[in-house]
Copies of this chain bind each other. A is one copy, B any other.
């Protein structure tokens, strides 16, 4: 029997990622920028929520967006068309963003002019949950048509998120067979501190609670509550 060594590559990668995430966090702190890492399945409404958020907050705050996408740049084009600087990270097949990619993207934004950076992660409920980007808060979207069982299937994502946006509330009671009581009980068992927001990006319902939360978080990053907060 010869010698056998085991190298846990993922552990090494995650520890390297952690160091780079800390650098991003420090860069954001120095610039008093609040960064939120927005994660969800494809089609849950990440881009719609970002567009709604931009239209609600762009008068009061300097906003920048980092878009992660496997192959295209369409989301960043949409954001830039709304007057918000955008960086598109085309991952070329990678299923998540990591802290090194975010570091590259942050270098492309004029952080001194920004208060809020929204990162749209790659559409995936698995891998993005494991990678700290240096964000201040993690947020995720679960849309009603995806089903109330998702916390059972993707427990890590629901455990690590600071904010949970339940989108497409307009589907509730219609086609979708979604048991909100069971869903909320599953969330509670995984994450006692998560803030939940029930919204419809289509109708605009419930979005003010989400933007209110963002305003509070931006204000606490700035170290003072600005006039724009009611």
Which A residues are within 8 Å of any B CB, using their own CB? 1-13, 73, 76-77, 79-94, 101, 104-105, 108, 127
Contacts and interface: CB of A to CB of B under 8 A. Distances in A.
Q: How many copies does the complex hold?
A: 2
A4 B7 CA distance: 40
A9 B89 contact: yes
Contacts of A11: 92
A125 to B, nearest CB: 14
B6 A104 contact: no
A105 B92 CA distance: 26
Given A12-B104, A104-B12, A5 B88 contact: yes
B85 A10 contact: no
Nearest to A105: B7
A208 B91 CA distance: 43
Contacts of A81: 1
Contacts of A85: 2-4
Contacts of A73: 4, 6
